Structure 1
Amino acid sequence: MEKQKEIIENKLSDDMGKMGEEFNNFMHKVTEVDGIIKKLTSKDKDLQAIGDQEAKLYLREETVLDDIDGETISLKVTNDRTIVNKIAQESGNPNEMSKDSFMAEVERDADQRYKDRLIRTEKMETFKKQATLAFRRKEFEKALVLYNKAIEQIKDSPLLYNNRALTYIKLGFPDKAKSDLENWALKLNEDCLKSWLLLAKINYLSGDEEESKKCVLEAKKRNPKEIDFIEDYMKTMYKESRKS
C-alpha cells in the first residue's frame, strides 16, 4: 500500500509540474500579444517596425531583417505563401503589418481555439462523469486518474480542482488537496464556497484549527447569504471528526 501511494504521489508531482508550466506559457502568450499590439500602435516608427516584425514572427511567418539604422528598419518577407503576407500586400505595403491585420489573425486563431475548447469540454465532461461515478463507488484511485484526465482537457475549472482535492483527501494526500485548492481552485474563483470549506476541513483534520477558522471566516465574508449553510456544514464536520 505504501509503495503504491509513493508511485501515485510521484506521478502527481510530475502532473502538477506540467500544468504549472502550461499555465506559465499561456500567461507568456498573453503578455507577448499585448506587447506586440502596443508597438504596432506606437507613434514611434521604429517601434512600429519592430512590432511588425514581432507580429509576423508570432504568426509564424519567416522574415529577414535587412537593415537597421537610427531611422529605419526594413523587413524582407521570405515566404509569399503565408496568410499574413497576403494581408500585408493587400494593405498596400508588403513589408508592414497593421494592428488590424495582426488582430484579425489573432482573432482567427482565437476562433479556432474556441472550437477546440468545445471539443475538449465535451471530453472533460465525459471524464468528469466517469470520475464522479468512480468516487461514489469509493474507487478513489480510479476517480483520481479520471479527474486528472478531465483537467488535462480543461485546466480552468474550479469544480474539477475541488473534486480532485476531495479525492486526494480520501486517498490520504491532504497536502495535494490543499495545493489544488490554494493554487488552482481559489485562484480561478476566490469566492468559491466549496473551496473554502474544503480548505477549512483539511486544516482542521490536520490539527491547524486556527487556520481552519480563518477559512470559515473567509467563506462567510465572501458568501454572506450562505452563513447558515456554512455553520451547518462545520457542525456536521466537527461531529463526524469526533466519531472517527
Structure 2
Amino acid sequence: MTEELDALKKVEDVSECIKQLATSNDPTTLDAADKLLKKLEDGSEDLRTKTNRTVITKDSSNGNASANAAESAAFMREIERDAAERADRRERNRRRAAEWKDRGNAQFKLANYDQAVDCYTRGLAIAKDFELLYQNRANCYVKQGRFEEALADAEAAIFLTREKCAKPFFHQAKALTGLNRLSEAREAYSRMSSCSDAAPGHADRCLADLDRLSAARKAEARALEEFSSGGGNSVEMLIYRLARGDQPTAYYAAGMRCLAALLVGANERALFRAKSGFSLLNKQQVVVTTLAVPLESMTDAQLDLLTASLTLAAAVAKEDSENCHQLAQLSKPGQLAARAVDVVAFNGASPSASDARQAALDALSKIGQLACDRLCGCCAEPAGLVAALLRQTQRLAAQTALAAAHLFSQLAGCVRLRERLERAAPNALAGIAQAGESLVSAGASESLAAFCLAVEALRRLMAGCRPLRQAAAARRAFLTACCTALERYAPDKEEDCGGELQQSAAAEVAALLASASLEATPAVSGAAVRLGEMALRLASRPSVAPQLREFSLALLATLAPRSVELARQIGA
C-alpha cells in the first residue's frame, strides 16, 4: 500500500509540474521540473528492484499489488523516456540559441548594441534558461544606459548560475551603479569576489572605483546644491563660482560637468565665451595645476578633473566655430588641447584613464569638425597624434576605437596636416608607417568598422603625402602586413564571400596596397606575384562586392608593370 501511495504521489507531482510548464516561462519552473525528474530517475531503480522481487501468490491482494507495481514501473519508464526526449530537445535548443549568442557577440564587438540585443533576445526565445544570453544582454543594456533592463537580466543570470559565477554579479553591480544604488552595487561586488571564477583583485579594483565615484557624486551633489541656490544655476554664476581657487578638486570636476550640461544651445555657448568662460580652462589655478601633472602620475581625482575639463570643452565646441578656434589655440605644453592629444596617446588602463581618453577623443572630434586646420596647425606634433590614433584604433574597446578612427578620418582630409607631414622628420613619418603596419597586421581586435575607417583614412593620407607614401613603401614589413590582412579578410571560396564589413576590410587593404605601392621598391617587386594572384582571383569573382573588385583591379594595374610573371598570368 505504501508503494501505491508513493506512486500516486509521484503522479500528482508530475501532473502539477506539467501544468506549471504549460502556463509559465519562469526559469524557476524549469529548474523545479529538472529537480523532479532527477528525483524520479533516482527512485526508479529502487522501484524496479522491488518489482522484480515481488512473489506472485494466489492471494488476490498480492496480485493487485503486483499489477499496480507493474503499472508504476511502466509509468516510470514513460517518465524516463519523456525526460530523455526533453533533455535531447533542450540540447538542440541550446545549440540553436548558441548560434544567436555568437551572432550577438559579433555585433557587440562592432558596438552594434541594438543588433546584439536582438540576437540575444532571439536566442532566449529558443532557450529560456540559457544563462550566457541573459548575461551578455545585460552587458549590452549597461552599454546603452538601460540599467533597469540590465539589472533584470543580470539577476536572471545570477539565478541560473546558482550564484556561482562572477560576471553576472559584475553586470548587476554596473546596473545598480547606473541607477545610483551604490550601496547595493557594493554588495554585488562583494558577492562577485566570493565566486571561484573571479579574477584576483578585480573586485577590489571595482570597489575602489566605486568609492571614487561615490566621492565624486557627493561633491557633485554639494556643487549642485550650491549652484542651484540664489540663481547659481546660470552660466554666468557657474563661471564666477568655479573661478575661485579654494575648493577641493572634486568640487571643480562636478561644477564643470554641471556647466557643460547647461551649454545646450548657441546662446549659452556664446555667453560662455563672452563671460570669460575660457579662463576656467587656461587660467583657473586648480585646473592649470592639474593639467601640468604628468598623466602617469595623476591621481584618480586629478584624472576626473581632466575628464570634466575635456567634457566641458566638447560642450563648448559643439557647432560653434569661434569656440573651436579658441580651444585649438590651447595647444602649448600643459594646455587643454595639448593635454587632450597626450591623453589620446596615453595607455593607462584604469577606468579613470579610459574615461579621460573617451572625453579627449570627443573634444578633439568636436574641434576638428569646425577647426581642423587650426587644430593641425597648433598641434605640436601632428605626426605623433596620427600615430597615436592608429595605435589606439587597434588597442581600444569597440566604441572608443570607433571614436579614434573617426577623429583620424577627419584629420586625414585636412590640407594643413598633409603640409606639415610633408616637412616632418623621416623618423616621425616612419612612426606613422609603423603604427599603420601594426594596425593592419593585428586586424580588427574589437571593431571591424573602426579598422575599415582607419585604413581608408590612412590610404587618403598617404595618397596626398608623398614622403609618407615613400616611408611606408620602404618598409617591407608594411607590405607584408598588408598581404597578410588581405588574405585574412578576402574570401577564400566563391561561395564564401564573407560579410559586408569583411569585404569592405579586404577592399580597403587592397586600396591601401595600391596607394603604398606607387613607389617602386625591391619589396614591391618581390611581393608583386603573390599580391597580383590574390587580386586577380578577387577581381574575377562575380560574387564579390563591386568596391572590392574595383580596388583589386587598381592593385593589379599598379603591380603588373613590376613583374613579367604577373603580366603573363594576367594575359593568360
- TM-score, structure 1 as length reference: 0.58
Q: 1:222/1:115 Cα in 2 relative to 1: closer, same or farther (>3 Å)?
A: closer
Amino acid at match of 2:137: R
Shift of 1:105: 0.5
Is 1:185 paired with 2:189? no
Provide the alpha-carbon RMSD of the alignment.
3.6
Establish whether residue 218 from structure 1 lines up as the match of residue 191 from structure 2. yes
Q: How far apart, CA to CA, are the structure 2 residues paired with 1:207 and 1:148?
A: 26
Instruction: Specify which of 10, 21, 27 is matched with residue 25 of structure 2.
Output: 21
The structure with more radius of gyration:
2
**Aligned residue in 1 for 2:82:** 109
Cα offsets for 1:111-142 (capped at 9, x unmatched): 11222123212211211111111111122111
Q: CA deviation at 1:92?
A: 7.3
Cα contact 2:165–2:198 (8 A) shared by 1: no
The CA distance in 2 between the partners of 1:92 and 1:127, in whole Å, is 51
The residue aligned with 1:194 is 167
Give the aligned residue type for 1:205: G
Partner of 2:126: 153
Contact 1:201–1:237 at 8 Å: present in 2 too?
A: no
> Which amino acid letter does the alignment assign opposite residue 104 of structure 1?
R
SS of 1:98's equivalent in the other structure is helix
Corresponding letter in the other structure for 1:168: Y
Q: Encode CA deviations 1:16-50: one digit per residue, 9 max, x unaligned.
A: xx996354654675698779x99xx9xxxxxxxxx
Matched with 1:127 is 100
User: Could you tell me how far apart the structure 2 residues matched to 1:188 and 1:149 are?
Assistant: 18
Structure 2: distance between partners of 1:20 and 1:176:
20
Q: 1:161 to 1:134 in 2, by over 3 A?
A: same
- Aligned positions of 1:1-244 closer than 5 A: 21-23=25-27, 26=30, 93=67, 98-182=71-155, 184-189=156-161, 190-223=163-196, 226-232=199-205, 235=209, 236-237=350-351, 240=354
CA contact (8 A) 1:132 1:143 kept: yes
Using the alignment, how far apart are the partners of 2:206 and 2:181 within structure 1?
18
Q: Secondary structure at the match of 1:222?
A: coil
TM-score (norm 2): 0.27
Q: State the SS of the aligned residue for 1:148.
A: helix
For residue 49 of structure 1, what is the aligned residue in structure 2?
none
The 1:20/1:241 distance shift into structure 2, 3 A limit, reads: farther
Matched residue, 2:389: none
Report the AA paired with residue 150 of structure 2.
A
Instruction: Name the SS of the counterpart of 1:195 in structure 2.
Output: helix
Aligned residues: 174
Question: Aligned with 1:138: secondary structure?
Answer: coil
- 1:116 is paired with a residue whose SS is helix
Q: Which residue of 2 aligns with 1:15?
A: none
What's 1:65 paired with? none
Q: How much does 1:177 deviate?
A: 0.6
Q: 1:102 to 1:19 in 2, by over 3 A?
A: closer
Using the aligned pairs only, state the percent identity: 21
Higher relative contact order (CA 8 A, sep 6+): 1
Q: Distance in 1 between matches of 2:177 and 2:23?
A: 28
Q: Could you give the per-residue CA deviations for residues 179-220 of structure 1, whole angstroms, max 9, x where no partner exists?
A: 1112x1111120210111111222223222222211111112
TM-superposed CA distance for 1:230, in Å, is: 2.7
**8 Å Cα contact 2:96-2:126 kept in structure 1:** yes
Helix, strand or coil: the match of 1:150? Answer: helix
* Superposed displacement of residue 153, structure 1: 2.1
CA positional deviation for 1:170: 2.3
Greater per-residue strand proportion: 1
CA distance in 1 between partners of 2:112 and 2:27 (Å): 30
Aligned partners of 2:183, 2:23: CA distance in 1, in Å? Answer: 31
CA distance, structure 2, for counterparts of residue 237 and residue 206 of structure 1 = 18
Distance in 1 separating the partners of 2:174 and 2:32:
35
Aligned-partner residue type, residue 159 of structure 1: L
